[in-house]
Amino acid sequence: MLTNGFFARMMILECGRRPPGQGARVEPPPARVLETARWWAEFKPGTGNLQDWHPEPRLVRQTDAAREILIETRLEVETEYAKAEAAGDEAGTTVWGRVGEHARKLALLYAVSENHEHPEIGKPAAEWASRLAIHQARRMLFMAGAHVAENPFDAECLKLLKKLRGAPGLELGHSVLLKRMKTDAKTFHGLVTTLEQRGDVIVRTEAVRGGVARFYRLATDRDL
C-alpha cells in the first residue's frame, strides 16, 4: 500500500489524546450552513438535459501570487522526489509524486469554502495548501518509516527506536530498555549492535559503583 499509490493518495491527519466526553445537545444547524449546503446541492454546472450525468467543470482562476507559490511548491517537491529516487526510496517517490496535486486540491477547497459563489484561489489559499501538503508528506513518510517493517527483525528495531523516542532525553539505561523490549539478552544485543552500526543509536558507558553502566540514545530526533 505504500508504493501502489493508495498511501500517496491519502492525507492522514493525526489527533491528540481523546478528550473527556460531554452530554449531547440538540441544536439546529446555523442558517448560514443550511444556506450554503442548499446552494451546493442545487449547483449544476453546465446546461442541457444531460448535465446531471455530464456536467461541464467550472474553472476557478488563481491569482498571479497564488500561481507563483504553487510553482515554488512544485519545484520543492521535485527536489524531494529526486532525493527519494536517488536513495531508492519507493515509498518516498510515490508520496512526493502526489504532493503538488494535493496542494492544488487543498487550495481549491480553501477557495470554494471562502466564497462558494465566486471562488478564486489567492495567496492565502496557496500558502496554506502548500504548507499543509508538504508537512503531511513529511509526517506520513516519517510515520511509515517508524511503524512499517519489512521483516520481524526490522519490526523489533523499530520498536526499540520507538522506546528511545519516547524516553526523557531520548535515552535509556541498559536494564530499563532490555526490560521494556521484553526480549532475551542475545536478541537485544543483536538489535543494539545493528542499530548502532546503522547510525540510529548511540551507545555510551558511564562509570558507576561496582562497574560500568551502558546507556542507549537515539542518534537523532526525526519525529516531525
Provide CB contacts within 8 A for 141, sequence distance 6+.
Answer: 91, 92, 95
157: its cell numbers: 528495531
Let me know the angle formed at the C-alpha of 180 by 176 and 186, rounded to the nearest 5 degrees: 85
Give domain status of residue 168, yes or no: yes
From 89, 116, 147, the end of a domain falls on: 147
Say how far apart CA 42 and CA 40 lie, in whole Å. 5
Q: Phi and psi for 173 in degrees, rounded to 5? A: -75, 165
Give domain status of residue 3, yes or no: no
82-124 tens-digit pLDDT: 999 999 888 899 999 999 999 999 999 999 999 999 999 999 9
From 100, 127, 147, the end of a domain falls on: 147
Residue 223 has a pLDDT of 44
Measure Cα distances from 164 to 34, 138, 140, 179, 194 in Å: 50, 21, 20, 13, 15
Residue 209 has a pLDDT of 82
Give domain status of residue 46, yes or no: no
CATH number of the domain where residue 200 is located: 1.10.10.10
Q: Are residues 161 and 127 in the same domain?
A: no
Give domain status of residue 27, yes or no: no
Q: Phi and psi for 218 in degrees, rounded to 5? A: -65, 130
Q: Are residues 141 and 64 in the same domain?
A: yes
Residue 221 has a pLDDT of 55
From 92, 117, 147, the end of a domain falls on: 147
Give domain status of residue 213, yes or no: yes
Residues of the chain with pLDDT under 50: 222-224
Query: 208 pairs with which residues across the strands?
Result: 211
Number of domains composing the chain = 2
